[in-house]
Amino acid sequence: NAGVTQTPKFRILKIGQSMTLQCAQDMNHNYMYWYRQDPGMGLKLIYYSVGAGITDKGEVPNGYNVSRSTTEDFPLRLELAAPSQTSVYFCASSYSIGPPWKDYGYTFGSGTRLTVV
């Protein structure tokens, strides 16, 4: 099925460990995003990419890194995990921006629930 695939769905990390959250889309979308969702807060943008080889910081990038070597994949790397990184992480993709408007919407992955202890 076409869409955004995130792995893993759940993970528990110890403080100081590192891990990579995987995100892949098969819709040939050029824009991809990583968000985190904390209780009672709106989703916050961590990093985004407008195409292969191009990434940029969002609102809350500290403690994370990304890469975009292909159109399909956009992994998020956590280095030296901290309890403040306990959150639910969503990857998303979109195709078109700007006028003329089309009903493209955004496609989100199912999320990764990360706990750092």
Partner 1 sequence: KNEVEQSPQNLTAQEGEFITINCSYSVGISALHWLQQHPGGGIVSLFMLSSGKKKHGRLIATINIQEKHSSLHITASHPRDSAVYICADGGGADGLTFGKGTHLIIQP
Q: Among residue numbers 41 through 70, which ones bind partner 1 (CB under 8 A)? A: 41-45, 48, 50, 56, 58
- Distances in Å between the Cα of 88 and the Cα atoms of 10, 30, 31 are 9, 23, 20
Site string for partner 1, 1-30 (x = CB under 8 A): ------------------------------
Q: Site for partner 1 (CB under 8 A): which residue of 28, 80, 104, 115?
A: 104
* Minimum distance, C-beta of residue 102 to partner 1, in the bound complex (Å): 9
Tokens of 40: 């009672």
